[in-house]
A and B are shown apart, each in its own frame.
Chain A
Amino acid sequence: MGKVKISANIVRQENIATDIFSMIIKAKEIADLARPGQFVDLYSSDGSRLLPRPISICGIDKQAGTLRLVYRIAGKGTREFSELTSEHQIDVLGPLGNGFTLSDKKAIIIGGGIGIPPMLQLAKSLDCEKSIVLGYRDEEFLSAEFKKYGTVYMSSDNGAFGVKGTVMDAIKEYGITGDVIYACGPTPMLKAVKDYAEQNNIEAQLSLEERMACGIGACLGCVCSSKDVDDHSKVKNKRVCKDGPVFYAEEVEL
């Protein structure tokens, strides 16, 4: 009982912002087991594109047996996915990775760019007081859906909405506090969150991204640097796809 690769029916797909798509797939076997912060691998139907694309899980509906995947077009593979409709199927492997460790401590949920989608299921699953900080370049998406689960603060690179700057600027500007941080976003953002958490002695769980091949921990393509020698690798490396993608801030070097 665990990971499976299935051919999933696409329930529906919509374009929710520039190059950002929201796809709902029927994948009962995966939805049954999925936890917030895990991801799936999507496969291209074009034989010239061999490697699966890792996509975070934005929503898990165990009753309907569906998963919601919100992703950005980053190349030909994700462009192919964006053109699929409810008449199509897609090969999907999952659930992959470890996911977040949920607690009832007062939470700061931080998402940056395409690191925002997995935080939606997390916000839904956490039963505690939540401050939600979302960082965008210049166009927001999903923020309205977060409002059901906590107080939402935003930042944008150009100041078009929210605080001008980064999620860290928003945290400082609004004086946001909490006892645990959950974060997913680009590496510079995670680095800033890690520094902030260490300076303020707050527990932080960071979801990392890296180029992947197998997605299941076999090929050692997607490692990150760890502070101590890892028990599996016996070197200062951890597998993002299998040991992560979520790590405690103090475990990893960014």
Chain B
Amino acid sequence: MNTKVNIAGVELKNPITVASGTFGSGMEYDEFVDLNILGAVTTKGVANVPWEGNKTPRIAETYGGMLNAIGLQNPGIDTFMERDIPFLKTKDTKIIVNVCGKSVEDYVSVVERLSDCDIDLLEINVSCPNVKEGGIAYGQNPKSLYEITKAIKAKAKQPVIMKLSPNVTDITEMAKAAEAGGTDALSLINTLTGMKIDVKKRTFAIANKTAGLSGPAIKPVAVRMVYQVANAVKLPIIGMGGCMCAEDALEFLMAGATAVAVGTANFNNPYATRDIIKGIEDYMIDNNIQDINELIGCVK
């Protein structure tokens, strides 16, 4: 039985990774899940300098989902390279480093710092709804997305994954812009911009007012977008958005994703990734699937 998949020339032992920001750099989840079983660890977004993030409350629960507006708090690339990468290098899993920035120069400087680093893939966050500058400004305009993709590709030593926002009219237009800019893969979807009002306090539930909606509430949107993008471009896709169980992961694969990231589910169950990997294997045995690649995009 083969569970290996290939993203832009990088072989993952299985299609399961984690959604950036839900798993830190894996240290906190190492107590619960043997990180060696994961196809890849995708790290929390890292910028050229430390970012403080947003004011609290940063978190609110919604029906079948959650809102977050962390604001990309991160310790900066220096600490990340000294502490987080050496930790991940002790594990037998692929490393996908998520990169954030406020300007093209910020992104490029992080990508350049990582060029000599023994990591496998770069995921570029141009779709965070919770920071004012950068981020989503590049992810909602095809021309800006094309240009930033090109600028990053010109300097990147590792294959590049552009992470797309669902907060657009036509996600295939964005996927095509990233493809034209030379990206090696895509990941989608980032969170949907949402809002919750605390009626007792008559104020916003989240200090940032708007926040990113994730969890099973958004999964049908995510599966639809993965399907549309898979049929619009020739790039491998990491699908994500509310994957809670093996059945959800299989939906993403069948819609056309080559790998699947588990995000909010980690908060509901710290063993979620392990359970999903096991569930996919069980499905393959029960249905006599020899190679997981048979399932990728099998629903046309």
Contact = CB atoms under 8 A, between A and B. Distances in A.
Interface of A: 2-3, 5, 43, 47-52, 77, 93, 210-224, 232-237, 242
A92 to B, nearest CB: 12
Interface in B1-47: 21-24, 27-29, 31-32, 44
A110 B60 CA distance: 29
A56 B266 CA distance: 22
B115 interface: no
A49 B264 CA distance: 12
A51 B61 contact: yes
Nearest to B52: A235
A223 B28 contact: no
B270 interface: yes
B66 A223 contact: no
- Interface size grouping (class) on chain B: 35 or more
Interface string B197-240: 00000000000000000011000000000000000000000000
Interface in B66-80: 66, 68, 70, 73, 75-76, 79
A52 B22 CA distance: 15
A222 B57 CA distance: 7
Contacts of B60: 211
Contact of B75 (A50, A51, A93, A232): A232
Contacts of A220: 21, 44, 53, 58, 70, 73
Contact of A219 (B21, B27, B64): B21
Given A221-B59, A235-B51, A52 B28 contact: no
A52 B267 contact: yes
B56 interface: yes
A43 B271 CA distance: 14
Contact of A93 (B51, B68, B270): B270
A232 B28 CA distance: 12
B240 to A, nearest CB: 15
Contact of B57 (A210, A235, A236): A210
Contact of B58 (A211, A234, A242): A211
A215 B270 CA distance: 10
Nearest to A223: B56
Given A5-B32, A223-B56, A233-B75, 12 more contacts: A5-B271, A48-B64, A50-B215, A51-B61, A51-B66, A218-B27, A220-B53, A222-B58, A223-B73, A235-B50, A235-B52, A242-B28
B103 interface: no
A211 to B, nearest CB: 4
Contact of A50 (B21, B44, B61): B61
Contacts of B73: 220, 223, 233, 235, 237
Given A234-B76, A235-B75, A211 B215 contact: no
